[in-house]
Amino acid sequence: MTNEDLQNIITGLGTDLEFNTEGSEFLNVIVPKEQLHSICSQLKSHPELKFDYAFCITGMDWVPALGVIYHLNSTELKHEIVVKVMVEDRENPTLDSVHDIWQTADFHELEIFDFFGIKFNNHPKLRRIFLTPEWEGFPLRKDYVDEANMIIK
């Protein structure tokens, strides 16, 4: 299915969706954070979309907003899209978990919580997975400073 066809179907799944293909090989869909879970579950269940394989989930720090990028693939229909979601609040960023849609999100959300501090509602057990529980700050944020361990050029 071409990107235009995908865009036509996905437009009907929610409101205020933004589409973008500039500077990327995939069709990018920017989703308001309130609709993330409902759109993701429709992306998986819609008979013409069937995005069942989330092959990459990336945390991002677009200063000032934080966010998550989901690379999705349909193993049956072979098309691919990228879903992006942003959250403005840096003090207490919260998004809905999608682990009940793609179970791989369970671990990837732990990784994003560990490095970006984004909390996920309904996640089964949110915890530090790589760093120690008492670690302060979130290392992959752009404003993270650790003078002892980081070499900054």
Partner 1 sequence: MTDQQAQNKIKTEEYFINMGPQHPAANGVLRLILTIDGEIIKNVEPDLGYIHRSIEKMCERDSYQQIVHLTDRMDYLSSHINNEAVCLTVEKGLEIEVSDRVKVIRTIIDELTRIASHCLWWGVMGMDLGALTTYFYAFRDRELINDIFEETCGARLTMNYNVPGGLMFDIHPNFVKRTKDFITHFKTKIPEYDRLLTGNVIFQKRTKGVGILTKEDAISFGVSGPTARGSGFSSDVRKHHPYSAYDRVNFKEILFTEGDTFARYQVRMMELWESVSIIEQLIDNIPEGETKAATKAVIKLPKGEFYQRVETARGELGVYINSTGNKNPYRVKFRSPGFSNLSVLNHISKDVLIGDLVATMASFDFVIPDIDR
Give the residue, chosen from 8, 11, 103, 122, that forms a contact with partner 1 under the rule CB under 8 A: 103
Count of residues interacting with partner 1 (CB under 8 A): 36
- Site membership for partner 1, residue 26 (CB under 8 A): yes
Tokens of 149: 């361990």
Closest CB to partner 1 among 34 and 54? 54
- Site membership for partner 1, residue 104 (CB under 8 A): yes
- Site membership for partner 1, residue 86 (CB under 8 A): no
Q: Can you tell me the distance from the alpha carbon of 145 to that of 74, in angstroms, rounded to the nearest whole number?
A: 39
Q: Can you tell me the distance from the alpha carbon of 127 to that of 42, in angstroms, rounded to the nearest whole number?
A: 28
Give the residue, chosen from 1, 5, 56, 122, that forms a contact with partner 1 under the rule CB under 8 A: 56
Closest CB to partner 1 among 148 and 152? 152
- Site membership for partner 1, residue 75 (CB under 8 A): yes
Q: Are 93 and 117 in contact (CB under 8 A)?
A: yes
Beta-strand relationship, 53-62 and 65-73:
antiparallel
Q: Cβ 15 to partner 1, closest distance in Å?
A: 25
Q: Cβ 102 to partner 1, closest distance in Å?
A: 6
Closest CB to partner 1 among 8 and 103? 103
Q: Are 87 and 66 in contact (CB under 8 A)?
A: yes
CA atoms within 13 Å, Cβ hemisphere of 38 = 10
CA atoms within 13 Å, Cβ hemisphere of 30 = 9
- Site membership for partner 1, residue 77 (CB under 8 A): no
